[in-house]
């Protein structure tokens, strides 16, 4: 009995020592932040953009319901294209003319609900949905790369990525030189109209290509100089001789008159 009592006491002592130690070990388990990995919720996208040349966009976003849309997608992964301050300044008149829903859509149009690093953007081309995409409202744009340059095309404007603000999964933020304008809210960029095709009538009336010009012969100085007039004169004279025999010959008539006058004097 004494041995059993001693064994029971020993077990009780061991439980009393081991349980508190285990509990303490569980409480002191290192958190992700202790390892140097900040949780996604601790990333302030507004502060990051404000500190890297996108303060106007960050201020506009923080004053809009669109900020919650961005924050809700941070943990699952999000890529943000923030226009520079100069780009936002140029776009400000257009932005002010939008409705409240339109302003929210434009802001959400600058976010993609998936993490995209710069290396992945440089190796991919094609359509990309945004935080503004909702059913029939496409709100998408085309990512196109040319070597190290990456551009975003919306059919209204083309923006170029100018720098990396933050790039650490699950959040990537890149600065761009233009505000992205969706076709759902803005008119398409004008394209030159094609030249009309020529009609058969137009072809018939169109001037012929210039070739060697044909020179007309110079007009004769007088009717007498004209070879045609000369021929006509000869024909007319010949016709008069044949029809009436009338032809005035001055020399033939003067000689008899002089002869009669001279004979009269002698008599």
Q: Which domains are present in the chain?
A: 45-176 (2.30.180.10)
Please report the sign of the dihedral spanned by the C-alpha atoms of residue 52, residue 57, residue 60, residue 62: negative
Q: Is 227 a residue whose pLDDT tops 70?
A: no
Tokens 């210039």, located at residue: 210
The distance from CA 208 to its chain's CA centroid, rounded to whole angstroms, is: 39
Confidence (pLDDT) at 25: 42
How far apart, in whole angstroms, are the C-alpha atoms of residue 160 and residue 147?
13
pLDDT in tens, 132-157: 999 888 999 999 999 899 999 999 99
How large is the average pLDDT for residues 228-248?
44
Over range 186-190, report the average pLDDT.
Answer: 78
Half-sphere exposure of residue 72: CA atoms within 13 angstroms, side-chain side: 7
Token couple for 90 = 């140029």
pLDDT at site 136: 82
User: What average pLDDT does the segment 238-246 reach?
Assistant: 44
Range among 27-31, 146-150, 218-222 rated most confident: 146-150
Q: What is the mean pLDDT of residues 36-65?
A: 87
pLDDT per position as a tens digit, 65-92 = 999 999 999 999 999 999 999 999 999 9
Average pLDDT, the chain: 75
Of 4-8, 132-136, 146-150, 174-178, which has the strongest mean pLDDT?
174-178
C-alpha 243/C-alpha 113 separation (Å) is: 117
What confidence score (pLDDT) does residue 3 get?
47
Q: Are strands 126-128 and 111-112 parallel, antiparallel or unpaired?
A: unpaired
Residue 229 has pLDDT above 90, yes or no: no
Residue with tokens 């302030």: 44
Q: Verify cis geometry, omega within 30 degrees of 0, for the bond prior to 146.
A: no
Residue 232 has pLDDT above 70, yes or no: no
CA-CA-CA-CA torsion for 79, 85, 87, 91, nearest 10 degrees? Answer: 100
Q: Which residues pair with 171 in a beta bridge?
A: 78, 168
Residues 6+ apart with CB under 8 A from 57: 49, 82, 83, 85, 88, 110
Contact assessment for residue 88 and residue 56, using Cβ atoms and an 8 Å cutoff:
yes
What does the alpha-carbon distance between residue 155 and residue 191 come to, in Å, rounded to a whole number? 11
Residue whose token pair is 């398409």: 188
Name the residue with higher pLDDT: 102 or 33.
102
CA distance 143 to 137: 18
């Amino acid at each position: 009995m004494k041995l059993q009592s001693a064994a029971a006491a020993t077990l009780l002592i061991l439980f009393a020592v081991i349980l508190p130690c285990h509990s303490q070990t569980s409480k002191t388990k290192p958190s992700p932040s202790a390892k140097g990995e900040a949780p996604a919720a601790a990333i302030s996208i507004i502060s990051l953009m404000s500190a890297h040349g996108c303060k106007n966009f960050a201020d506009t976003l923080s004053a809009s319901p669109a900020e919650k849309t961005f924050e809700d997608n941070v943990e699952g992964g999000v890529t943000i294209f923030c226009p520079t301050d100069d780009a936002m300044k140029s776009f400000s008149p257009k932005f002010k003319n939008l409705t409240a829903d339109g302003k929210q859509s434009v802001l959400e149009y600058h976010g993609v609900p998936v993490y995209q690093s710069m290396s992945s953007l440089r190796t991919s081309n094609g359509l990309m949905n945004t935080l503004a995409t909702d059913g029939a409202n496409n709100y998408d744009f085309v990512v196109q790369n040319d070597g190290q340059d990456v551009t975003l095309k919306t059919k209204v404007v083309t923006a170029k990525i100018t720098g990396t603000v933050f790039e650490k999964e699950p959040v990537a933020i890149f600065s761009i030189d233009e505000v992205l304008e969706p076709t759902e809210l803005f008119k398409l960029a004008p394209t030159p109209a094609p030249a009309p095709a020529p009609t058969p009538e137009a072809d018939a009336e169109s001037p012929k290509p210039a070739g060697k010009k044909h020179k007309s012969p110079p007009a004769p100085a007088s009717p007498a100089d004209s070879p045609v007039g000369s021929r006509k004169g000869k024909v007319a004279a010949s016709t008069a001789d044949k029809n009436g025999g009338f032809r005035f010959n001055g020399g033939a008539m003067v000689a008899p008159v002089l002869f009669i006058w001279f004979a009269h004097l002698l008599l």
